[in-house]
């Protein structure tokens, strides 16, 4: 009877191990490919072969390993590729793609200072308008939020939760009144930080998951119409790389809002969601 | 008498001086207008500024001209005294009236004359004789029926004469406004110059002597009214707007009704006239393609000279590079040549000194740029050539002038950039310059992972939260008993002082039973001092009765109790060494327990 149970347990163990290993085997393949393509991209960029660098980093993204660094490098590679065409820089939409990828990098990691710098520099080449000023509280909230990713805030919130509960225990157990007092007030502070970081993490998650912003990606400029048909008036002519908000969309047209609040309809194939 | 001889002597001296001065330079010239028209007489005048010898004048043969009158001689002599300085002039003129017979260029041969024994001759004078078109000399003879209609359209007009109408941008053109007239002008009412749009213009000083000129087959008296140097500032067909002018012409009309026998009955009328030039178009050519990068619009012909510092200089010493551009062309428009110095050099604003003259021939002169600099660190530096490019319109070519590349060795005198006391800019020895901006380099290493997993609200997150809360609950439950115990410990600790006192009192009670007075009081005192010491955390050595009273008062113990406490201590102190009845010990003991329990009940709260 007992040996029988052992056999079953042994079989189960082998089965579990086999499944785990097969999973590891299939999962290892794209990971190593992505790593190889990443290295190839970095080398190609260093040699100045920006076409190859763009292809390599695009492959990494397609494999599902799209981190902020990959998008950042892709943005750099597109920018340099566009600049390499000295007679007509950014002739085939490289500026738009560069800005798209810098924006995506910042969306994943808002604290990525290099990406913010490059995005700012690349946007000098566009005819983007000045954004409407945000309210003070919103600006404060965003600047606080963008110090860390959603995951960073989530980890902080979990740590703060643990710390709060630990301090509650200290409060309950401490024999010295000074220690109990300290534990009590620090616990209130950590509890507040826990609530704040949870809120920031959730807010950052919403921002990171939203696809409400888009970048104009076209060869030169794309017409923005007053209504979703090509016969209507062209209200604006944004250049590639202009960042817009998406208001609503249809099969062929998307209503967009510019940074200064102006709205219009643009063809779907001339914008890319960030 | 004496005075008269002196006067005479003076006059003699003056006479000698005047002859001396007149001998000094004798000029004998001929003057005649040119060109002249066939059939219209003109005057040829031979003049000498010294008294000629009598009968020594020999007129030339006027070939091609008919002598109508002459020679008529006129002499003039004037003596001037100005501020005691005497000048005298003498003039003798022989005038002929000549009539040109046929067109062509004729020469009035030299005439000869002798003065003071020396003979002089005039220069041969070329005179152009032309045949005037249309009604020849109708206006010059002066037979006019009416004042208004007498002035023909081409009797008086103005022209803007341009030295060139097909130029390069920046080249200079001389524009002169000339009044052509065959009639008398009484007055110039107004003269309005155009604004010369698209041109840089500079007014020139000019010689306003009238002259004669042939224009469209007719001879005019010409007067220069204005002269400008124009330099077109853009290419294309540039138009100079018409120049407008109002004049008053004087017309002499022979009145046919009342012919005055003496004065001829001529009347002079003033006729206002407005004149304007035709709009003038100038073709301004753009510079040919292939201009070097250093070309900045300098047009003309230039040379460049540079004065460089010694090839070896000291650190932190002011030096300068001087570049002089000289020549003719649009000097006023040339821009400063670019001097590129090593980064460790401080280069100051260049000093510009120009010595530019604007004349009818164009702008010429020189501009000197002085670039002061200070080398802030030692070493060998190569100074790149300073290049200046100009366009030569004559050959339609670009020429680049450059200084030679030279090496500058900067010697350290011990005051290098860090220790130099006079570093300008302060802070960290001057701000670093941002030369250019480019995107930052790519990230070279990254942890590749599937990026779409967000920790918050994920199962892992909830798991972690649940684990933390569970740990807390477990820890709380486990430690709860200890918490309760802990509370008792705290309560015990609060009674500890009382307890020690109780122990000591118990000890004292034992001594009392043994009738050991000394030990009893010693123990009682120890219990009381120790109680206060433990209770209020004051070392026994620091305790006096006064401090005890203060401490008890601060803790709201009633004054009576405090007084009793101190009294017991006094009594115990006294009784310790003094013989006393046994009953005292029991009384003191009872009071001590009583007062400590009273204080305890007050202080504990």
pLDDT digits (tens, 9 = 90+) for A60-79: 998 888 888 999 999 999 99
Q: Which residues on B lie below 8 Å from A121 (Cβ)?
A: 437-439
CA distances from residue B446 to A70, A78, A109, B311 in whole angstroms, order as listed: 8, 19, 13, 52
Question: What DSSP string runs through A86-139?
Answer: -SSTTTTSHHHHHHHHHHHHHHH-TT-HHHHHHHHHHHTTS-PPPPPPPPHHHH
Preceding amide of B35 cis, omega within 30: yes
Q: Which residue of B has its CA nearest to A113?
A: B440
Predicted local confidence at residue B343, as pLDDT: 77
Asked if B242 and B279 touch (Cβ cutoff 8 Å), the reply is yes
Predicted local confidence at residue A8, as pLDDT: 55
Terminus-to-terminus CA distance in chain B, angstroms? 151
Are the beta carbons of A158 and B479 separated by less than 8 Å? no
Q: Which residues on B lie below 8 Å from A202 (Cβ)?
A: 456-457
B570 to chain A, minimum CA–CA distance in Å?
Answer: 37
Work out the number of other CB atoms within 10 angstroms of the CB of residue B48. 24
Are the beta carbons of B456 and A205 separated by less than 8 Å? yes
pLDDT digits (tens, 9 = 90+) for B173-195: 888 888 888 888 888 888 888 88
Predicted local confidence at residue B317, as pLDDT: 80
**Interface with A, mutate which of B434, B436, B438, B439 (most A CBs under 10 A):** B439
Query: What is the C-alpha to C-alpha distance for residues B291 and B168, in angstroms, rounded to an integer?
Result: 14
Predicted local confidence at residue B465, as pLDDT: 92
Percentage with pLDDT > 90 across chain B: 2
Is A4 a residue whose pLDDT tops 90?
no
Q: Which residues on A lie below 8 Å from B448 (Cβ)?
A: 31, 34-35, 38, 60, 65, 67, 70
Query: What is the C-alpha to C-alpha distance for residues A1 and B521, in angstroms, rounded to an integer?
Result: 84
Whether residue A202 lies within 8 A of chain B, CB to CB, comes out as yes
pLDDT digits (tens, 9 = 90+) for A200-234: 999 988 888 887 888 888 888 888 999 898 888 88
Work out the number of other CB atoms within 10 angstroms of the CB of residue B149. 10
pLDDT digits (tens, 9 = 90+) for B95-135: 888 888 888 888 888 888 888 888 888 888 888 888 776 54
Is B146 a residue whose pLDDT tops 80?
no
Asked if B169 and B393 touch (Cβ cutoff 8 Å), the reply is no
Predicted local confidence at residue A10, as pLDDT: 52
Residue B78: HSE in the Cβ half-sphere, 13 Å Cα cutoff: 6
Torsion (CA) B476, B478, B479, B484 in degrees, nearest 10: 100
Predicted local confidence at residue B136, as pLDDT: 40
Q: Which residue of B has its CA nearest to A120?
A: B439
Is B254 a residue whose pLDDT tops 70?
no
Query: What is the C-alpha to C-alpha distance for residues B548 and A229, in angstroms, rounded to an integer?
Result: 98
Query: What is the C-alpha to C-alpha distance for residues A187 and A23, in angstroms, rounded to an integer?
Result: 43
Q: Which residues on A lie below 8 Å from B476 (Cβ)?
A: 169, 172
Predicted local confidence at residue B427, as pLDDT: 44
Which whole number is the average pLDDT over B67-91? 85
**Interface with A, mutate which of B444, B456, B480 (most A CBs under 10 A):** B456
Whether residue A105 lies within 8 A of chain B, CB to CB, comes out as no
Average pLDDT, whole number, for chain B? 78
B388 to chain A, minimum CA–CA distance in Å?
Answer: 27
Which whole number is the average pLDDT over B365-387? 84
Torsion (CA) A129, A135, A138, A143 in degrees, nearest 10: 60
Assess whether the region B25-130 and the region B492-604 belong to the same CATH fold. no
**Interface with A, mutate which of B451, B459, B470 (most A CBs under 10 A):** B451
Parallel, antiparallel, or unpaired: how do β-strands B173-181 and B218-232 relate? antiparallel
Average pLDDT, whole number, for chain A? 85
Are the beta carbons of B468 and A161 separated by less than 8 Å? yes
Query: What is the C-alpha to C-alpha distance for residues A257 and A213, in angstroms, rounded to an integer?
Result: 9
Q: Which residues on B lie below 8 Å from A66 (Cβ)?
A: 451
Asked if B298 and B334 touch (Cβ cutoff 8 Å), the reply is yes
What are the backbone dihedrals phi and psi of residue A45, each rounded to the nearest 5 degrees, phi first?
A: -65, -40
Q: Which residue of A has its CA nearest to B475?
A: A169
- Residue found by looking up tokens 């510019």 in the block: A258
Q: Which residues on B lie below 8 Å from A69 (Cβ)?
A: 443, 446
Question: What DSSP string runs through B65-113?
Answer: EEEEEEEEEEEEEEEEEETTEEEEEEEEEEEEEEEE-SSEEEEEPPPEE
Whether residue A49 lies within 8 A of chain B, CB to CB, comes out as no
Predicted local confidence at residue B145, as pLDDT: 45
Top-confidence residue, B547 or B486? B547
What letter would DSSP give residue A1?
-
Is A43 a residue whose pLDDT tops 50?
yes
Are the beta carbons of A67 and B472 separated by less than 8 Å? no
Q: Which residues on A lie below 8 Å from B491 (Cβ)?
A: none
Categorize the per-residue pLDDT at A44 as very low, low, confident or very high, splitting at 50, 70 and 90: very high
Predicted local confidence at residue B483, as pLDDT: 67
Parallel, antiparallel, or unpaired: how do β-strands B36-37 and B125-130 relate? parallel
**Interface with A, mutate which of B449, B455, B458 (most A CBs under 10 A):** B455
Predicted local confidence at residue B213, as pLDDT: 82
Q: Which residues on B lie below 8 Å from A207 (Cβ)?
A: none
Asked if B517 and B580 touch (Cβ cutoff 8 Å), the reply is yes
Categorize the per-residue pLDDT at B92 as very low, low, confident or very high, splitting at 50, 70 and 90: confident
Categorize the per-residue pLDDT at B246 as very low, low, confident or very high, splitting at 50, 70 and 90: confident
Q: Which helix (H) or strand (E) holds B476?
A: helix B459-513
Question: Which of B338-352, B415-429, B433-447 has the lowest average pLDDT?
Answer: B415-429
Question: For every residue of B128-161, which 3-state class applies, written as one string?
Answer: EEECCCCCCCHHHHCCCCCHHHHCCCCCEEEEEE
Categorize the per-residue pLDDT at B6 as very low, low, confident or very high, splitting at 50, 70 and 90: low
Whether residue B479 lies within 8 A of chain A, CB to CB, comes out as yes
Which whole number is the average pLDDT over B494-505? 73
Asked if A76 and A92 touch (Cβ cutoff 8 Å), the reply is no
**Interface with B, mutate which of A108, A115, A123, A173 (most B CBs under 10 A):** A173
Is A14 a residue whose pLDDT tops 60?
no
Q: Which residues on B lie below 8 Å from A118 (Cβ)?
A: 439-440
- Using alpha carbons, select from B253, B255, B258, B272 the residue that is nearest to residue B142: B253
Query: What is the C-alpha to C-alpha distance for residues B42 and B66, in angstroms, rounded to an integer?
Result: 10
Q: Which helix (H) or strand (E) holds B383?
A: strand B379-383
Torsion (CA) B12, B14, B20, B21 in degrees, nearest 10: -170
Which whole number is the average pLDDT over B131-158? 59
Are the beta carbons of A154 and B455 separated by less than 8 Å? yes
Query: What is the C-alpha to C-alpha distance for residues B465 and B467, in angstroms, rounded to an integer?
Result: 5
Query: What is the C-alpha to C-alpha distance for residues B504 and B508, in angstroms, rounded to an integer?
Result: 6
B455 to chain A, minimum CA–CA distance in Å?
Answer: 5
Question: Which of A140-149, B161-170, B582-591 has the lowest average pLDDT?
Answer: B582-591
Predicted local confidence at residue B579, as pLDDT: 67
A217 to chain B, minimum CA–CA distance in Å?
Answer: 19
Top-confidence residue, A15 or B87? B87
- Residue found by looking up tokens 């001929």 in the block: B30
Is B49 a residue whose pLDDT tops 90?
no
Is B434 a residue whose pLDDT tops 50?
yes
Handedness of CA B231, B234, B237, B239 (dihedral sign): negative
The residues in A 211-270 lying below 8 A from B, measured between CB atoms, are none
Q: Give the start-to-end residue ranges of the domains of chain B.
A: 25-130, 139-284, 292-411, 492-604
Top-confidence residue, B451 or A27? B451
Asked if B20 and B48 touch (Cβ cutoff 8 Å), the reply is no
Question: Which of B290-304, B421-435, B499-513, B536-550 has the lowest average pLDDT?
Answer: B421-435
- Using alpha carbons, select from A83, A114, A123, A110 the residue that is nearest to residue B441: A114
Whether residue A125 lies within 8 A of chain B, CB to CB, comes out as no
Q: Assign B182 to helix, strand or coil.
A: coil
CA distances from residue B567 to B559, B578, B599 in whole angstroms, order as listed: 12, 16, 14
* Two tokens, residue B63: 């070939």
Predicted local confidence at residue A160, as pLDDT: 94
Q: Highest mean pLDDT range out of A95-104, B108-117, B200-209, B390-399? A: A95-104
- CATH 1.10.3470 applies to domain B492-604: no
Predicted local confidence at residue B140, as pLDDT: 42
Backbone dihedral region for residue A5 (phi beyond 0: left; psi -120 to 50: alpha; all else: beta): alpha
Handedness of CA A62, A68, A70, A75 (dihedral sign): positive
Predicted local confidence at residue B583, as pLDDT: 58
Are the beta carbons of A165 and B438 separated by less than 8 Å? no
Query: What is the C-alpha to C-alpha distance for residues A112 and A68, in angstroms, rounded to an integer?
Result: 8
**Interface with B, mutate which of A26, A70, A177, A183 (most B CBs under 10 A):** A70
Are the beta carbons of B476 and A79 separated by less than 8 Å? no
pLDDT digits (tens, 9 = 90+) for B278-325: 888 888 888 888 788 888 888 888 888 888 778 788 888 888 888 888
Parallel, antiparallel, or unpaired: how do β-strands B387-392 and B295-307 relate? parallel
Q: Return all residues near B374 (Cβ < 8 A) that are at least 6 apart.
A: B316, B317, B318, B319, B345, B346, B348
The residues in B 483-542 lying below 8 A from A, measured between CB atoms, are 483, 486, 489-490
Categorize the per-residue pLDDT at B422 as very low, low, confident or very high, splitting at 50, 70 and 90: very low
The residues in A 55-84 lying below 8 A from B, measured between CB atoms, are 60, 64-70, 72-73, 75-77, 79-80
pLDDT digits (tens, 9 = 90+) for A161-189: 999 999 998 888 777 788 888 999 999 99
Torsion (CA) B320, B325, B330, B336 in degrees, nearest 10: -30
* B25-130: CATH number: 2.60.40.740
Residue B476: HSE in the Cβ half-sphere, 13 Å Cα cutoff: 13
pLDDT digits (tens, 9 = 90+) for B542-563: 788 888 888 888 888 888 888 8
Are the beta carbons of B443 and A79 separated by less than 8 Å? no
- Could you name the CATH architecture of B292-411? Sandwich (2.60)
Q: Which residue of B has its CA nearest to A112?
A: B443
Which whole number is the average pLDDT over B526-552? 80
Give CA B286 to chain center in angstroms: 29
Which whole number is the average pLDDT over B139-146? 43
**CA Rg value for chain B:** 61
B367 to chain A, minimum CA–CA distance in Å?
Answer: 38
pLDDT digits (tens, 9 = 90+) for B325-366: 888 888 878 888 888 887 778 888 888 888 888 877 778 888
Q: Which residue of B has its CA nearest to A149?
A: B454
Are the beta carbons of B447 and A67 separated by less than 8 Å? yes
Buried b (16+ CB within 10 A) or exposed e, B390-407: bbbbeeeebbebebeeee
B464 to chain A, minimum CA–CA distance in Å?
Answer: 8
Q: Which residues on B lie below 8 Å from A42 (Cβ)?
A: 442, 444
Asked if A234 and A260 touch (Cβ cutoff 8 Å), the reply is no
Top-confidence residue, B422 or B598? B598
């Amino acid at each position: 009877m007992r040996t029988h149970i052992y056999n079953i347990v042994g079989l189960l163990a082998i089965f579990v191990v086999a499944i785990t290993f097969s999973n590891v085997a299939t999962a290892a393949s794209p990971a190593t490919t992505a790593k190889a393509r990443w290295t190839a991209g970095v080398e190609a960029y260093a040699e100045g072969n920006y076409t190859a660098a763009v292809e390599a980093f695009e492959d990494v993204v397609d494999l599902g390993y799209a981190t902020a660094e990959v998008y950042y490098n892709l943005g750099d590679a597109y920018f340099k590729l566009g600049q390499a065409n000295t007679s007509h820089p950014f002739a085939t939409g490289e500026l738009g793609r560069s800005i798209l990828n810098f924006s995506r990098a910042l969306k994943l990691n808002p604290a990525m200072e290099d990406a913010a710098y490059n995005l700012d520099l690349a946007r000098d080449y566009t005819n983007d308008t000045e954004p409407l000023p945000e309210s003070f509280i919103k600006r404060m909230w965003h600047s606080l939020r963008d110090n860390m990713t959603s995951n960073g805030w989530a980890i902080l919130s979990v740590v703060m939760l643990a710390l709060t509960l630990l301090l509650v225990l200290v409060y309950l157990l401490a024999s010295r009144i000074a220690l109990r007092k300290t534990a009590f007030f620090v616990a209130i502070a950590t509890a507040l930080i826990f609530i704040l970081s949870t809120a920031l993490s959730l807010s950052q998650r919403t921002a990171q998951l939203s696809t409400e912003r888009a970048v104009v990606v076209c060869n030169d400029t794309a017409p923005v119409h007053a209504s979703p048909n090509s016969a209507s008036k062209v209200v604006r002519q944004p250049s590639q790389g202009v960042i817009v908000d998406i208001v609503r969309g249809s099969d062929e047209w998307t209503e967009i809002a510019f940074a200064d609040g102006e709205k219009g309809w643009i063809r779907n194939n001339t914008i890319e969601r960030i | 008498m004496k005075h008269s001889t002196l006067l005479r002597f003076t006059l003699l001296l003056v006479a000698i001086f005047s002859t001396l001065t007149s001998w000094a330079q004798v000029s004998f010239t001929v003057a005649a207008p040119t060109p002249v028209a066939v059939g219209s007489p003109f005057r040829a005048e031979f003049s000498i500024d010294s008294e000629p010898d009598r009968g020594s004048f020999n007129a030339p043969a006027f070939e091609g001209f008919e002598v109508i009158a002459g020679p008529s001689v006129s002499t003039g002599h004037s003596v001037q005294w100005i501020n005691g300085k005497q000048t005298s002039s003498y003039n003798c003129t022989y005038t002929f009236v000549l009539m040109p017979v046929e067109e062509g260029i004729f020469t009035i041969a030299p005439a000869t004359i002798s003065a003071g024994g020396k003979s002089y001759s005039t220069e041969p004078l070329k005179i152009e004789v032309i045949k005037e078109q249309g009604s020849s000399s109708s206006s010059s003879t002066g037979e006019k029926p009416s004042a208004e209609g007498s002035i023909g359209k081409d009797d008086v007009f103005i022209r803007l004469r341009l030295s060139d109408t097909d130029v390069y941008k920046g080249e200079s053109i001389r524009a002169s406004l000339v009044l052509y007239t065959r009639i008398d002008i009484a007055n110039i009412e107004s003269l309005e110059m155009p604004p010369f749009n698209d041109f840089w213009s500079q007014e020139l000083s000019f010689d306003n002597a009238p002259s004669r000129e042939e224009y469209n087959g007719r001879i005019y008296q010409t007067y220069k009214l204005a002269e400008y140097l124009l330099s077109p500032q853009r290419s294309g067909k540039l138009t100079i707007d018409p120049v407008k002018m109002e004049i008053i012409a004087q017309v002499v009309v022979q009145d046919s009704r009342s012919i005055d026998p003496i004065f001829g009955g001529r009347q002079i009328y003033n006729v206002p006239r407005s004149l304007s030039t035709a709009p003038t178009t100038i073709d301004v050519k753009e510079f040919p393609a292939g201009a070097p990068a250093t070309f900045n619009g300098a047009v003309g012909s230039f040379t460049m000279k540079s004065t460089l510092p010694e090839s070896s200089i000291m650190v932190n010493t002011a030096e300068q590079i001087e570049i002089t551009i000289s020549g003719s062309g649009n000097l006023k428009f040339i821009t400063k040549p670019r001097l590129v110095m090593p980064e460790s050099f401080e280069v100051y604003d260049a000093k510009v000194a120009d010595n530019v003259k604007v004349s009818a021939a164009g702008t010429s002169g020189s501009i000197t740029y002085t670039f002061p600099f200070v080398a802030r660190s030692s070493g060998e530096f190569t100074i790149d050539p300073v290049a200046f490019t100009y366009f030569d319109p004559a050959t339609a070519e670009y020429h680049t002038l450059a200084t030679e590349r030279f090496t500058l060795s900067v010697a350290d005198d011990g005051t290098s950039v860090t220790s130099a006391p006079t570093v300008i800019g302060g802070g960290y020895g001057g701000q670093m310059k941002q030369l250019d901006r480019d995107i930052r380099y790519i990230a070279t290493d990254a942890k590749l992972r599937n990026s779409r997993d967000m920790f918050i609200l994920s199962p892992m997150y909830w798991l972690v939260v649940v684990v933390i809360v569970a740990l807390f609950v477990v820890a709380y439950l486990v430690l709860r008993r200890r918490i309760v115990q802990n509370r008792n410990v705290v309560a015990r600790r609060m009674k500890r002082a009382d307890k020690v006192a109780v122990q000591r009192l118990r000890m004292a009670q034992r001594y009392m039973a043994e009738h050991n007075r000394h030990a009893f009081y010693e123990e009682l005192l120890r219990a009381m001092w120790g109680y206060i010491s433990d209770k209020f955390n004051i070392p026994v050595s620091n305790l006096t009765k006064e401090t005890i009273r203060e401490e008890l008062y601060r803790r709201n113990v009633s004054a009576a109790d405090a007084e009793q406490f101190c009294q017991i201590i006094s009594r115990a102190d006294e009784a310790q060494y003094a013989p006393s009845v046994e009953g005292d010990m029991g009384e003191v003991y009872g009071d001590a327990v009583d007062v400590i329990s009273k204080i305890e009940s007050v202080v504990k709260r």
